[in-house]
Every structure is written in structure tokens, then in C-alpha cells.
Chain A
């Protein structure tokens, strides 16, 4: 917070998706690709945080209202998850 926002802006491409949580996993049908994804935390939470456009920093800030991160923690893991979600088509550049 208060820092300059850098890095690409992302947004979730899951507005029309169907999803269901079973045994801690989220099953998500993505109509745009016709693919079904099986997501483990924190990917569903990242998608929820990207209902509105945001960069990695903003996502981390949004997630930290729900989850407890130590300062400086999570950024690297988040970048990796964002890259996975982008390559799967569930997240795109805003």
C-alpha cells in the first residue's frame, strides 16, 4: 500500500465459469476454452481476487485481507500461480 503499482494488470476470465468445491478442491468449467480445471488453493482465491483488474501487488493486498501473510511472504508463490493461471487461460492481461 502506498507503493507505486507496477507489473502487468491481470483479470480473471471466469465470469461465465461454473465452479464447485469438493473436498477442498475447486472444479471449474471454463466455457471459453471448454476445459474443466481442478484447482487447489490458493488458485481459486486468486481468481476471486481478480474479479476486478489488478497487478500481482494488488492481488496480494486483496488476499491479505483474508489470509495471514508475513511481510514479504507470498509474492514469489503468487507470481508462479499467476503465470500458471495465465497459461491455462483462466487469467488474462487486463
Chain B
């Protein structure tokens, strides 16, 4: 690989290589302050020209790695960070066996973790980014790693992938040096990455016990509804990328989680309402 960067995020190590200097340099800048991984990485991601000659002519990135998605769409080189992120997601989603992977954000306070799950657009990144600036420790915006043996949640504090309106909201309260480049017209719209606070990186090896699972829905009037353990189980099996591959360990991990953690669904019309709801629910749960 011509250009390469090795990174550790929580318990996971990545090696990202590219035929181009640009994406690797952008990754180095964005991941400033992350520990460097050793020689053996858990996942290898390669960003290579879709056709050899395209390295010079209209460059476009093809994603490759230990697991290859055959129809992974080529992305313009300007979207190299998005391509790297998608490839890292794919590698983990398909390959991870140490942890039950939940498609969820997570934040921690007082040693207890809040898991925020939901489909794209539910507000995982927006809410975890906001909470991470307001007294919570950011643990991840994409994957929550549940340890099947201990029931503990491992941080996976990658740079937060802010989309569309969430970008301006965070730019208003976070220093500019923590942001990556703005990428327009990606498959997920406009994207700008934001590096978590230094504290979240310094504590990336510090696990937390899950205390609540939140199922947010954005764009609806304020509403709160408890989610019973059976419903939480069903929704979390769907939110997990490797539940089936984890077999009995996945079943035990997830049934353990839903029996010990209350589930709450919230509808919210704006981030301020969500913040107020989460703080209230958290305070009530802690009593």
C-alpha cells in the first residue's frame, strides 16, 4: 500500500491503506490524538482506484478489505473520508466476533452508559455529539460494542459523522480544529466529521455498564413511552449487525442487556427537547 495509517479506536485496530495520499492525510488529521496501532490490525481497509488508470483520470475510490462488498459504490476521491468510514463499518459489521455489535450510539455519565439506537435519521450521531459536549462522555456514534462475557460496553469513539443540519448545530459550540472537511453530496448527504473531546479519547479503554437503552425518533411531537424487555430484544436483534453470527453468545448478551436495562422510546421535534428529555429520564433512572 502506497499510503497507510494505523489507528486504534477503543479495543479495535485498523489499518487503512490507499493508493492516494489525500484520504490518508485527511484521516491522520481527523484522527489526531488517537493511539497508533501496532503491526497487526484487526481490520484492513484499502481505498484503491476503481480501475488502475483512474488514479489519475477522474479519481474514484473503490472500497476493499478483509470483507468485500461486491457492489460497494465507487465514491469520488473527495469523499475519501466517507469511503474509509464506510469500509471500516463494513469490516466491523461483518467480521466482529469479540463483541455483540449494536448499531447504536453510546454516552456515559457516572460510570453508567446510555445506549441510543435507531435507524438512520433517528439522531444517533446528533444526540451523542451534543451529549458529548454537555457533561457526558462520548463513547461512539455508530457501533456500541457489548462484551458478551461481562455485559460491559466498550467505547468506540470514532470521529462523529455529522449530517446535514447537525453540522451547523455543532459548529456553533465546538472549536473548528476538531472538524474535518465538509463533504457535499455524499450518499448520506452533506457530511462533516467531528473529533470527540480529548477526554473521550483518553478514556477509550474505559468500559461502562449499560444502564438504559433509548429508542429515539426525530421529527415528531414530544413523547415518552417505556419499551418492555421483549420489544427491546426484538428491536436490538435488528439493530445488531452480527447477532446471528454470535449465536448463543449473542442471545445471552442481548437477553442479559434487556433484563437489566430499562428501554425508553422518545419522540422529539428538536435537539433541545431531546436533551431535556434524556437528562430527565436519566435523573429518574438514577434514583
Contacts and interface: CB of A to CB of B under 8 A. Distances in A.
Interface string A20-38: 1011110101010011101
Given A22-B228, A22-B259, A23-B228, A29 B233 contact: no
Contact of A18 (B234, B243, B251): B251
A43 B259 CA distance: 22
Contacts of A23: 228-231
Contacts of A31: 247-248
Contacts of B247: 29, 31, 34
B229 A22 contact: yes
B212 interface: no
Contacts of B248: 18, 29, 31
B16 interface: no
B44 interface: no
Interface string B188-228: 00000000000000000000000000000000000000001
A22 to B, nearest CB: 4
Interface string B243-259: 11001100110010011
B255 A20 contact: yes
B237 interface: yes
Contact of B244 (A18, A24, A34): A34
Interface residues of A, number: 13
B216 to A, nearest CB: 22
A36 B252 contact: no
Interface in A1-44: 18, 20, 22-25, 27, 29, 31, 34-36, 38
A24 B133 CA distance: 41
A22 B230 contact: yes
Contacts of A35: 244
B230 A25 contact: yes
Contacts of A25: 230
B155 to A, nearest CB: 27
Contacts of A27: 230, 233, 251, 255
Contacts of B231: 23
A45 to B, nearest CB: 17
A36 B230 contact: no
19 contacts: A18-B251, A18-B252, A22-B233, A22-B258, A23-B228, A23-B231, A24-B230, A25-B230, A27-B230, A27-B251, A29-B251, A31-B247, A31-B248, A34-B244, A34-B247, A35-B244, A36-B243, A36-B251, A38-B233
Given A18-B248, A22-B259, A34-B244, 19 more contacts: A18-B252, A20-B255, A20-B259, A22-B228, A22-B229, A22-B258, A23-B228, A23-B229, A23-B230, A25-B230, A27-B233, A27-B255, A29-B248, A29-B251, A31-B247, A31-B248, A34-B247, A36-B251, A38-B234
